[in-house]
Amino acid sequence: MKNKKMQKIIALATLATIGFADLSIVTHAGLAKEHVDWTKVSWSPVKSPSPWTEWKWDSKKEGRSWKYVDELTQAEKDYWQIDPRWSHEIPRDKENPLLPEEKYPYKQPYSGEELASIAESSGSTTTMCGLQTHHAYHINRTKDRNGVVSKSDTICNTVKHFKTYAQMLYDLKPGTEQGAYLVVVVSPPEQAGTVSLSKFYKDGPGVKKLEDRWAYLPNLRRVRRISGASGEDYIPGAISTYDDVFLRDFWKFDSKIIGVDVLYQVANEKKAYGPIDGPYRQDGGIDTYVVLHFPKQKDYYLSQWITWHDKKSGHVLRTEQWDRRGNFKKIDEGSLAAPVLVFNKLTYPWAEAMRGGFNEIGNERRAVMMGGGPSAAWDVEQDVQTYMLPSGPDKKIEYDKFGALSVYAGKETWQQLFQPQRIENPFSKPVPVVKFEAKDFPPYPSLYREKFTKFRKIVLPAEISEKIKKDEQNKRGLFKS
């Protein structure tokens, strides 16, 4: 009885402490660390008289959709709220010198570094796919230079060991396990049942730990530990590296906003963005910041990359990369369209994220920004394209028949998920059979050669240039109705 009474007293005291602490918690920067519970700090969209205010720029009239920062008028500067400094010009956090002095979620004006951080917090670049828990089908198609299409459909589960991005930045210590990623291959049939588990660790000053990896191979009926990978290594069977998807922390590169732009088509160029309530712009485009990045690491496999960030959310819609020799290397694009299940309700991820704050289980809502829409990547050197299929009207995924495409996983632990008897029995309902051939691939991503030529040198092999010329004859033009 005494022990129970003591436990009750301790519990009440703890609750009182939490309640008192909550009074000092707010969601903006500038607070001393000891007064902040970082699990209660979240991003919220910048408030304005109208959430659908747009840049007063007529792309058809002006003949272009973009401007350098130094071309902006004072009214445009007031609208965009840009901090033009490089990361290395910005004062650093005294307790965390790798991070900027102003703490997440930051205030406007935004610097390139802050936009990179905000994008990372949504999972639109890295940070364990953004979500704390995540369960989904990933229905992928790859087209090689000869036009041959192959599929690599998987069921993926992601778990992060932090509730908010602020907690990851300011609470997790370098070397700490920050999350894990489980992939079950469901097609092609010869690889079905292969399972891999990767665990990732937070980097920091003098701390860089390789991921840990294990694989279950059906033919051996055993789990095997396999060698870890660094950020520059390619994910098996993919044209993306671990840095592209998981590990490229914003503080590892030097960033600067070089201009602003309106994007009209991404990933699926057969139609403009959408459906988007609002819309973002009356002409169907999305206002974006354009940010240039250089790696701080010597001999990094990229010499630079450029990202286009949705002004309203910070989400990265397009990324271009150049290899260490300065050759144009890769384009990644992701759309905002296509719904996913959020707590058993179909919704558009961008719409859920734009609400800001926290969801029903206390996680940062903007993390739902990742996923849902079509995404495409093109490796220029290999001339290989990948396309992640959305659940659109023309390729409907029958949720009742195949199981939900959900952004929140069940209550299973990694130990329960990563067991041969679980894997060999039906792991989930079958992945949808989607007919998707070479002709169904979207065209090559637009190169936009006229944009930001001071920073974008695009030279392609002759045979690829010829392919693109044919491709662009059928492409939706930027200024066509």
Has residue 39 got a pLDDT over 80?
Answer: yes
Residue 434 has pLDDT above 80, yes or no: no
CATH number at residue 59: 2.50.20.10
Cβ atoms of 386 and 326 within 8 Å: the answer is: no
DSSP string, 210-275: PPEEEEEETTTTEEEEE----TTSBPTTSSSBHIIIII--GGGEEEEEEEEEEE---S-TTS-S-S
Residues near 173 by beta carbon (within 8 Å), at least 6 away in sequence: 202, 204
Residue with more model confidence, 431 or 262: 262
Residue 179: which H helix or E strand, with range?
strand 177-187
Contacts (Cβ under 8 Å, ≥6 apart) of 239:
142, 330, 377, 379, 382, 384, 386
The verdict on residue 296 lying in a domain is yes
Q: Quote the strand ranges of 279-370, DSSP E.
A: 286-295, 302-310, 316-323, 328-334, 340-342, 345-347
- Strands, E, within 58-152: which ranges? 66-68, 133-138, 140-143, 149-151
CB 327 within 8 A of CB 459: yes
Q: What are phi and psi of 190, to 5 degrees?
A: -70, -15
Domain-located, residue 66: yes
- Greater confidence (281 vs 430) lies with 281
Task: Read off the pLDDT of residues 86-122 as tens digits, 9 standing for 90 and up.
Answer: 999 999 999 899 999 999 999 999 999 999 999 988 8
pLDDT at 253 (0 to 100): 95
Q: Which of the residue ranges 14-18, 45-49, 340-344 would you say has the lowest mean pLDDT?
A: 14-18
Measured in residues, the chain has a length of 481
* 481 inside domain: no
Read off the DSSP letter of residue 180.
Answer: E
Under 8 Å between Cβ of 349 and 407: yes
- Is residue 478 in a domain? no
Distance CA 171, CA 454 (A): 40
> Which residues partner with 323 through β-bridges?
302
**Dist CA 417 CA 135 (whole Å):** 12
Q: What is the pLDDT of residue 171?
A: 92
Q: Is residue 480 part of a domain?
A: no
Give residue 216's pLDDT band: very low, low, confident or very high (50, 70, 90). confident
Banded pLDDT at 28 (limits 50, 70, 90): very low
308 lies in which domain range? Answer: 2-473
Here the tokens at position 29 are 């920067």
Structure tokens belonging to residue 217: 């191979």
The answer to whether residue 340 sits within a structural domain is yes
Helix ranges restricted to H, 23-68:
59-62
* Alpha carbon distance 5, 10 (integer Å): 9
222: left (phi over 0), alpha (psi -120 to 50) or beta: beta
Q: Extract the tokens encoding 467.
A: 């392919």
115 alpha-carbon distance from chain centroid:
13
Nearby residues of 94 by Cβ (< 8 Å), 6 or more positions away: 101
At residue 400, the 3 state secondary structure works out as helix
Cβ-proximal residues to 352 (8 Å cutoff; 6+ apart), any chain: 342, 359, 365, 368, 369
Share of the chain above pLDDT 90, in %: 31
Q: Is the pLDDT score of 153 beyond 80?
A: yes
Instruction: Decide if 297 contacts 288 (C-beta within 8 A).
Output: no
Asked, for residue 479, whether it belongs to a domain, the answer is: no
Q: Which amino acid is at 262?
A: V
Residue 142 token pair = 């790859």
Instruction: Check residue 255 and give its pLDDT.
Output: 98
* pLDDT for res 312: 84
Q: Is the peptide bond before 109 cis (omega within 30 degrees of 0)?
A: yes
Reading the block at residue 36, the tokens are 């902040």
Number of domains in the chain: 1
Give the DSSP H or E segment for 118: helix 112-121
Q: With contact defined as beta carbons under 8 Å apart, do 134 and 156 qualify?
A: yes
Token readout for 32 is 């001393």
- Assess whether pLDDT exceeds 60 at residue 19: no
pLDDT tens digit sequence for 324-333: 999 999 999 9
Q: Which of 82, 104, 125 is nearest to 290 (CA)?
A: 82
